[in-house]
Structure 1
Amino acid sequence: MGSVQREIVIDAPADTVWGIVGDFVAGPLHMAGGALVESKLVEPDVRALTFADGTVVRERLVARDESARRIAYAWVGDDVAHDNTSMQVFADGRARCRLVWIHDTLPDELTNWLATTMDRMSPVLQQTLRSA
């Protein structure tokens, strides 16, 4: 199984960042800086994300832990044998936090694509969450 982890330091309070990251439906639109054009609930605990290029992906909510500021979800699709993504927000003082973003997936061939995508999106997340 491929695994990609990124840690992003954000100059914003952890509770503020968690308010966005922990919102399963609206959060992605607030974090993605224009890369997403729509996020909607299509089944209980399943969202459909529409990217600016028209690609639509579905993700199932796996877990949401308010006290740990952690959300986990899974990409649902024919190309994916297994997928689990989590985002967790850790306080780093009063006005700064760390976002730990982990993506585990099968098949392994998706790992390089995910790493590239996460590398591209990390500065976007950092900027949009800092501005929130």
Structure 2
Amino acid sequence: MASIVLETVIEADAAEVWAVIGDFEQGPPRMAPGFVTGTELTADDVRTVTFANGDVIDERLVSLDHEAQRIVWAVIGGTVRPLHDNASLQVVAESERLSRLVWIRDVLPDELAPPLAATMADGLAVIRETLSAGQA
């Protein structure tokens, strides 16, 4: 199983960042507008995320830990169907107005990791810009 680990620093308070990251239903289009074009909650713990490139992904919420400021989800369907795909985002306070966002993703088959890592890096740049500017 391949693991992808990406981090970025966001110029915003960790609580402000978490308010967006921890929003399972509407967080994706708020944190990455233009990259994510929409989400729809299809069950209490399942969302469908639509991306600008046309991909539509069904994701199940695995864990939402407000104390640790960490959300975990798994891909369970859609236009991309890996054998396994589990991801987490965690917000870590660096200082009063600086946060670190850590994105970890485990995926099978391993061959999916390079293109997914590239897409994640593009998305992370949008997230950093959006949340640093307070636009979410």
- TM-score of the superposed pair, with normalisation by structure 2: 0.92
Shift, 1:71, TM fit: 0.3
Distance of 2:55 and 2:116 partners within structure 1: 15
Counterpart position of 1:39: 39
- Give the C-alpha shift of residue 5 in structure 1: 0.5
| Structure 1 residue 96, shift from structure 2 partner | 0.4
Q: Which residue of 1 aligns with 2:91?
A: 89
Kindly, what percent of the aligned residue pairs are identical?
A: 46
| AA matched with 2:122 | R
List gaps (5 residues or longer) in structure 2: none
Question: Which residue pairs with 2:10 in the alignment?
Answer: 10
Point out where structure 1 has 5 or more consecutive residues left out of the alignment.
none
Distance (whole Å) between structure 2 residues aligned to residue 93 and residue 53 of structure 1: 35
Aligned to 1:57: 57
Q: What is the SS of the residue equivalent to 1:9?
A: strand
Q: Distance in 2 between matches of 1:8 and 1:55?
A: 24
The alignment yields a C-alpha RMSD, in angstroms, of: 1.2
Match of 2:125 in 1: 123
AA aligned opposite 2:119 = T
Q: Which SS does the other structure have where 1:25 is aligned?
A: coil
Which digits, 9 at most, give the CA deviation of each residue in 1:81-114, with x for residues without a partner?
1111000000011000100000101111110111
Do the aligned partners of residues 53 and 119 (structure 1) sit closer, same or farther apart at CA in structure 2, a change above 3 Å counting?
A: closer
- Secondary structure, aligned partner of 1:121: helix
C-alpha distance in 2, partners of 1:117/1:55?
A: 12
